[in-house]
Copies of this chain bind each other. A is one copy, B any other.
Amino acid sequence: MTQLRSARDGIITPQMTKVAELEECEPEFIRAGIADGNIIIPFNKKRTAASVCGIGKGLKTKVNANIGTSADLNDIDGEIAKLKAAEHAGADAVMDLSTGGDLRAIRKKIVEEARVTLGSVPIYEAVVTANSNKRSIKDITSDDLINAVKTHCEDGIDFLTIHCGITLDLLKVLKECKRVCGVVSRGGSFLVEWMTKHNRENPYYERFDEVVSIMREYDATLSLGDGMRPGALADAFDRVQLHELNVLAELVQRANDKDVQVVVEGPGHVPINQIPAQMKLQKELCKGAPFYVLGPIVTDVAPGYDHITSAIGGAIAASHGADFLCYVTPTEHLSLPKAEHVREGVVAAKIAAHAADLAKGIKSAWKWDYDMSQLRRKRDWEGQLATCIDPDRAKSLRESCMPNDQKVCSMCADLCVFKVADES
């Protein structure tokens, strides 16, 4: 049994009940959403002691934080610190994107330490293993790629990003479209290289049913990677991107038919005016499958501030239907993030998600803002600091310039509009 099979059989699982509790809705709403393929609960049967998280239609927008080593910085304690920073800041999911060191040992440690939903990208392991054995991408077999999926499932990963939509047909379109930044998905770039060097179809497409049956065994959720996402605003919404999305729409159906839950990944670098149409298109094509956007980043020129460029894009995307936001940290395009950057990235993405939830009309989101505004009006500082999204940061900024009158703040002092109103 998988969550999807249960839902279709009319069974409400303990995970559905828990998600309903968290979302303040009826379990039947969750069951029906899963049965329709519009809600997912990524929860590998091998996971224990983890929290559950529902993603999709009618639910609060969720946030994922990417962590992981690289060849330049391979420190497992550092990764655990990032995991804890992400969880503390309120991430709903964490993806381990490690590409340096002993990947399996790192992954196992993260699975052991994490409370949140976990994701990964199995192809990294196939490539990094080949590299570390002084073998090239040409030496990687189709079986190596499929086996990586099995290993990640076995280790308890809840959702796996697999770039199944890159086909030989797509590579022709890619060649025709003169992109500024080409392929910027790491997994996508490996597959393009593999397919080109072998002159063969993508094993994740060709052997899709096999991939799905492995995932079904563990009830792992398939995150359909967008290997062709634009990496520059100039490349957004081109034939390459659309071709892949069209393939993904086919695969959503095929995976769902085999009782495997699916989320679809989306861009990327996208100008603001394209975001609503991108969301609408995905939702229509993929029959309401949950949409997981990587940003989107709304300008190319702000490295150092991509937590902000992606908060702008993420808020717009989610208010137009995206369900799951992958954070971006301030170090994107510059360096591997540290725990402090992970914290900043998660908070920015949580703000975007919450702002979108207000736009979506989620009741608990409105209650939070209403409560906060009432505390503000009453000049209840203790209450405001306890209620806001990051009490530590708010407290430290308030204390950076304290007022003489503790009931106001140093911006307006005695001219505080609420004080004026109270005293007039």
Cα distance, A206 to B27, chains bound together (Å):
60
Does A271 make an interface contact (CB < 8 A)? yes
Cα distance, A182 to B269, chains bound together (Å):
40
Residue A189 contacts which of B341, B374, B421 (CB distance < 8 angstroms)?
A: B421
Cα distance, A300 to B146, chains bound together (Å):
47
Does A331 make an interface contact (CB < 8 A)? yes
**Segment from A44-52, A107-115, A304-312 that makes contact with B:** A304-312
Does A103 make an interface contact (CB < 8 A)? no
Whole-angstrom distance from the CB of A191 to the nearest CB of chain B?
A: 11
Does A133 make an interface contact (CB < 8 A)? no
Does A410 make an interface contact (CB < 8 A)? yes
Residues of chain B lying within 8 A (CB to CB) of residue A337: 411
A residues contacting the other copy or chain, number (CB 8 A): 102
Residue A413 contacts which of B72, B300, B332, B374 (CB distance < 8 angstroms)?
A: B72
Does A81 make an interface contact (CB < 8 A)? no
A232 touches B376 (CB 8 A): yes
Cα distance, A188 to B418, chains bound together (Å):
12
A352 touches B183 (CB 8 A): no
Cα distance, A410 to B271, chains bound together (Å):
27
Cα distance, A188 to B415, chains bound together (Å):
12
B305 touches A272 (CB 8 A): no
Residues of A whose CB lies within 8 Å of any CB of B are: 70-73, 99-100, 127-128, 131, 180-186, 188-190, 193, 196-197, 231-235, 269, 271-273, 298-305, 307-309, 311-312, 315-316, 319, 330-338, 341, 347-348, 351-352, 354-356, 358-359, 366, 368-370, 372-374, 376-377, 384, 387-390, 393-394, 397-404, 409-415, 417-418, 420-421, 424
The 7 listed contacts between A and B (C-beta, < 8 Å) are A71-B414, A99-B413, A233-B373, A301-B368, A302-B389, A333-B411, A335-B399
